[in-house]
């Protein structure tokens, strides 16, 4: 037995409610109609129950015109809506179509079979819209996340950086960028293969997620490079604690294929606005500080300092740092 279509009719004219019920009378098992006579009553019902379709009169005792549609759409954004309107309100009905209504019916032209077809087509169109929106969201998610680790990728990092730095400017906060590079990871890929290397990268990503707050951003730039963005740390000590925790998590033994392995990382830290004025400079300086940490043996963190750049200006690695990170 098919589940009946659950309809909420929002209409204060009892005579018209009767006509609509009569239109569905021959197929009682297929249609289940409830009535609300005001916007407030409809809102209460929609907050408690799920409906397949809303038949909506725009002129109610407590709401008129497009405001009625807006109130219903806000409460039930994913439910199909068919607007019931008089000839004088047809322009408003057309406006509701642009904002998400699936169809409209002019009350004076009510036809039993046409009403049923309109109801079914509206539900089907709403279903198609939802599937399209879901597919679009999934596509956006894939475009902005690293397929291996599920972390934000360079594109999403760019957006998060822009938001964080803009907010930090307004609120007078600090943003810390931690540039993380795994030590001697190339040796793992060369000796054990990329499949094993990928397992390490996924495990590192999970460990990074347990090392920072939920509101902090973790991104994978590519290869064995990761970025952690900390918004609003109060002191340098707060940042040091996070960096130390990350190094400790990464250094914990890894068990793959019944063997234990050990990894370490080098972390470079740059601060906005202390040592960088924009996102590119922030990542470039964090990358430079990471190079210094790696040059000192790895498994440590280093803060960027302008004085550290003087003796290194001729080093070939600096040419590499001129690349655009974001």
**The pairing of beta strand 175-182 with beta strand 225-231:** antiparallel
pLDDT recorded at residue 310: 52
Every domain of the chain and the residues it spans = 5-142, 154-320
Q: Which CATH architecture has domain 154-320?
A: 2-Layer Sandwich (3.30)
224 in active site: yes
Q: Which of the residue ranges 28-42, 79-93, 201-215 would you say has the lowest mean pLDDT? A: 79-93
Is the confidence at residue 315, as pLDDT, over 90? no
The predicted-structure confidence for 225-263, as pLDDT tens digits, reads as follows 999 999 999 999 999 999 999 999 999 999 887 888 899
Quote the CATH superfamily of domain 5-142: Response regulator (3.40.50.2300)
Q: 89, 181, 224, 287: which one is catalytic?
A: 224
Q: For residues 191 and 252, which has the higher predicted lDDT (pLDDT)?
A: 252
Which residues, other chains included, contact 84 with Cβ-Cβ below 8 Å and sequence gap of 6+? 11, 16, 55, 56, 57, 58, 104, 105, 107
User: pTM for the full model?
Assistant: 0.63
pLDDT computed for residue 283 by the predictor: 96
Sorted by sequence, the CB contacts under 8 Å of residue 77 that are 6+ apart come out as 100
Tell me the pLDDT band of 321, cut-offs 50, 70 and 90: very low
Position 45 confidence tier, pLDDT thresholds 50, 70, 90: very high
Q: What is the mean pLDDT of residues 215-233?
A: 95
Q: What is the mean pLDDT of residues 294-308?
A: 89
- Reply yes or no on whether the pLDDT at 317 is more than 90: no
pLDDT classification of 188: cutoffs 50, 70, 90: confident
Q: Distance from CA of residue 254 to its chain's centroid?
A: 31
Mean pLDDT of 130-152: 86
The pLDDT value given to residue 109: 76
Mean pLDDT of the chain: 88
């Amino acid at each position: 037995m098919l589940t009946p279509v659950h309809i909420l009719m929002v209409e204060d004219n009892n005579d018209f409610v009767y006509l609509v019920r009569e239109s569905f009378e021959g197929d009682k098992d297929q249609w289940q109609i409830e009535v609300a006579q005001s916007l407030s009553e409809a809102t209460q019902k929609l907050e408690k129950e799920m409906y397949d379709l809303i038949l909506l009169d725009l002129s109610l005792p407590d709401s008129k015109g497009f405001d009625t549609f807006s109130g219903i759409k806000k409460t039930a954004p994913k439910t199909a809506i068919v607007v019931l309107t008089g000839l004088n309100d047809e322009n408003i009905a057309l406006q509701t179509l642009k904002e998400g209504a699936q169809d409209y019916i002019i009350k004076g032209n009510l036809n039993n079979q046409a009403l049923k077809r309109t109801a079914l087509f509206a539900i089907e169109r709403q279903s198609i819209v939802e599937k399209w929106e879901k597919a679009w969201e999934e596509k956006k998610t894939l475009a902005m996340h690293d397929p291996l680790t599920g972390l934000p990728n360079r594109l999403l990092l760019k957006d998060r950086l822009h938001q964080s730095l803009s907010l930090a400017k307004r609120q007078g906060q600090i943003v810390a960028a931690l540039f993380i590079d795994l030590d001697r990871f190339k040796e793992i890929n060369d000796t054990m293969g990329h499949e094993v290397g990928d397992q390490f990268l996924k495990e590192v990503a999970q460990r990074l997620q347990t090392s920072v707050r939920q509101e902090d951003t973790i991104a994978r730039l590519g290869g064995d490079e990761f970025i952690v963005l900390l918004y609003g740390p109060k002191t340098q000590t707060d940042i040091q604690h996070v960096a130390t925790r990350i190094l400790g998590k990464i250094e914990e033994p890894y068990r793959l294929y019944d063997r234990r392995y050990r990894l370490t990382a080098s972390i470079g830290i740059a601060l906005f606005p202390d040592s960088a004025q924009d996102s590119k400079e922030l990542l470039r300086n964090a990358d430079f500080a990471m190079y210094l940490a790696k040059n000192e043996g790895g498994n440590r963190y280093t803060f960027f300092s302008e004085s550290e750049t003087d003796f290194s200006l001729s080093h070939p690695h600096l040419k590499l740092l001129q690349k655009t990170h974001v």
